[in-house]
Amino acid sequence: MSDNSFVLKDARIVLADRVIESGWLAVAGDTIAEIGEGAPPEQGLSLEGDTLIPGLIELHTDHLESHIQPRPKVHWNRLAAVLSYDAQIAASGITTVYDCLRIGGERDQPTSDGAPVREIAGLMRAAAERNYLKSEHHTHLRCEICSPEVITQTERFLDEHPASLISLMDHTPGQRQFRDEDKLRTYYLGKTSMNETELDAFFAERHRLHAEFAVPHRRKLVAIARSRGIRMASHDDATLDHVAESATDGVAIAEFPTTFEAAEASHAAGIAVMMGAPNLVRGGSHSGNIAAADLAERGILDLFSSDYVPSSLLIAAFQLPEHTSDTTLPEAIATVTRNPAAAAGITDRGTIATGLRADLVRVHIDEIPVVRAVWRGGDRVV
């Protein structure tokens, strides 16, 4: 627990339901103690009119992988990779992050016992225990349900390390995100060295694995998550049947639904709809699926993930009111703070309110929102 006590003044403070245009905030230890308008009762650090928001909460980022393997066949020192990744996460205003670790390969990869993933998780825990990390890190296991080894790898991982979220993924050609096999074929032919014949064989093998493992592995993963109290996310839901299955399984988060009907049904079922922040910032999906702005305009977008660009989370939140007819700034900031906290079952952060943890971000508005300072639990980390 932090032993800091300080006051921030001359701030534009974004609360859950309104904005204080000129206010102050007092921190005692790791907690927000008081919030007020106008001049504070004592001297404090002037934010010079900058905006103060809660620390961002990121439930799905693949960014750790790019630090560990920055180029194909290039494996960086893992501690250096973890520290660089954490620094970029914190500098993006993210104070709580769920690090995605993949269980089961998406492509034609040799089977393994999952040791590299467990080693990374162990290194992340050790770095946190040594107080090396700026942000608070949790584990999000991305489980490829059609992988032959996904169950054994998941069970072994959870026997050694905690996980806070499990996503149920199926990247089989013809399924979910890859329903259009022609587009997927074009993608693989451009990105890999496979020819048409090799790609046909690859697709056939993926279809075989789907037929053998998709149903039993999903059921087993759901049972594992329930028995250990781990929240679940569905991935790339495309149909009403997908959503009905998620609702039956007790899924809390719908990651990147690919159709309006799946997003709308998920939202109606109380499953938080997550879209990628880069989708909004870029003006649409890079893979041709639905646009985050369109879901927001329909009132069925609940939260953002930075996915592969950590800085996109803050940019998307501040841009969201420009893309919809009636989204307020507090509602937009909630998509990267309060809403992900609720979806993950976190109750001590995500909102600027007395009694909650002092996770705070000072933002200067320029061409884009610029992070000028970050506090986690009352300690300044950026």
The domain that holds 14 is classified in CATH as: 2.30.40.10
Average pLDDT over residues 1-28: 94
Residues 305, 250 within the same domain? yes
| Whether 138 and 68 share a structural domain | yes
Q: What is the mean pLDDT of the chain?
A: 91
Q: Are residues 22 and 167 in the same domain?
A: no
Same domain, 204 and 189: yes
> Are 211 and 354 part of one and the same domain?
no
Q: Are strands 303-305 and 19-28 parallel, antiparallel or unpaired?
A: unpaired
Let me know whether 227 and 289 are in one domain.
yes
Tell me: do 142 and 246 sit in the same domain: yes
Q: Which domain holds residue 38?
A: 1-54+349-382
Do 339 and 272 share a structural domain? yes
Give the burial string for 14-48 (b: 16+ CB within 10 Å, else e).
bbeeeebeebbbbbbebbbeebeeeebeeebeebe
Total domains present in the chain? 2
- Say yes or no: 105 and 247 in one domain: yes
The predicted-structure confidence for 185-239, as pLDDT tens digits, reads as follows 666 665 666 787 877 787 888 888 888 999 999 999 999 999 999 999 999 899 9
Which class for 321: exposed (0-12), middle (13-18), buried (19 or more C-beta within 10 A)?
middle
Query: What gap in Å lies between CA 330 and CA 59, rounded to an integer?
Result: 19
Collapsed DSSP state (helix, strand, coil) of residue 357: strand
Provide mean pLDDT across the span 333-356.
Answer: 98
pLDDT of residue 1: 56
- CATH code for the domain of 144: 3.20.20.140
Q: Compute the distance between CA of residue 269 and CA of residue 300 in angstroms, rounded to an integer.
A: 11
Position 109 confidence tier, pLDDT thresholds 50, 70, 90: very low
Residue 178 confidence (pLDDT)? 64
138 with 198, same domain: the answer is yes
pLDDT tens readout for residues 225-264: 999 999 999 998 999 999 999 999 999 999 999 999 999 9
Say if residue 26 is in the same domain as residue 173: no
DSSP string, 277-318: HHHHHHTS-TTS---HHHHHHTT---EEE-BT-TTHHHHHHH
pLDDT-derived band at 69, boundaries 50, 70, 90: confident
Tokens 């534009």 -> residue: 12
Residue 281 is which amino acid?
A: V
Residues 215 and 244 both lie in one domain? yes
Q: If we measure between CA atoms, which residue out of 317, 332, 167 comes closest to residue 252?
A: 167
